[in-house]
Amino acid sequence: MLTNDLDFRLEPRLKELYEQHKIRAQKIDWGYHEFLPWDKGMDFKRVPWDDSQVTLPSGVITAIETALLTEVNLPWFTTYLSATFKGSLSVITDFIHTWTSEEDQHSNLLETYLLLTRSVNPKRLHELRKSVVEGGFEPDFHTPIEAMTYTTL
């Protein structure tokens, strides 16, 4: 994939957009610890998990698990994006680093929420997560713009 085909004249505008994003993000900066129901947390060894503890509808759990399992492939996504845009505009590298940080925060929030609320079998979630990461990520993007579009979805 040829990334040096990105028009260098875009860099000032991309830097401006990136700086705007950082300013907006700083105003709403959050830590996942602020949104989690810590009082619901229990030790899985002392109080083993069972189906009766689930309080969320299965569709909601599936949606959260799907979002989480997408996020756990972050090492693969970051590696792919870094390789795709190597030697490209410096602002793209900065964006990749910021995007990775934000996506990691989402992953931590989703997994911790599922475990704290006992919405999923923790052993099954661990196995799913491990399986997804071990499976890797084989992107089917043909251009840098497709890769960038992926990060917005």
The amino acid present at 85, given as its one-letter code, is: F
Q: What value does the mean pLDDT take over residues 2-6?
A: 58
Classify burial at 4, counting beta carbons within 10 Å of its beta carbon; exposed 0-12, middle 13-18, buried 19 or more.
exposed
Q: Please tell me which residue, 13 or 152, carries the higher pLDDT value.
A: 13
- Eight-state DSSP code of residue 48: -
pLDDT (tens digit per residue) in 82-111: 888 888 888 999 999 999 999 999 999 999
| pTM for the predicted model, two decimal places | 0.84
43-48 CB contacts, 8 Å cutoff, 24+ apart: 44/122
CA distance to 2, 31, 106, 114, 129, per residue, from 23 (Å)? 31, 16, 19, 30, 33
CB 108 within 8 A of CB 32: yes
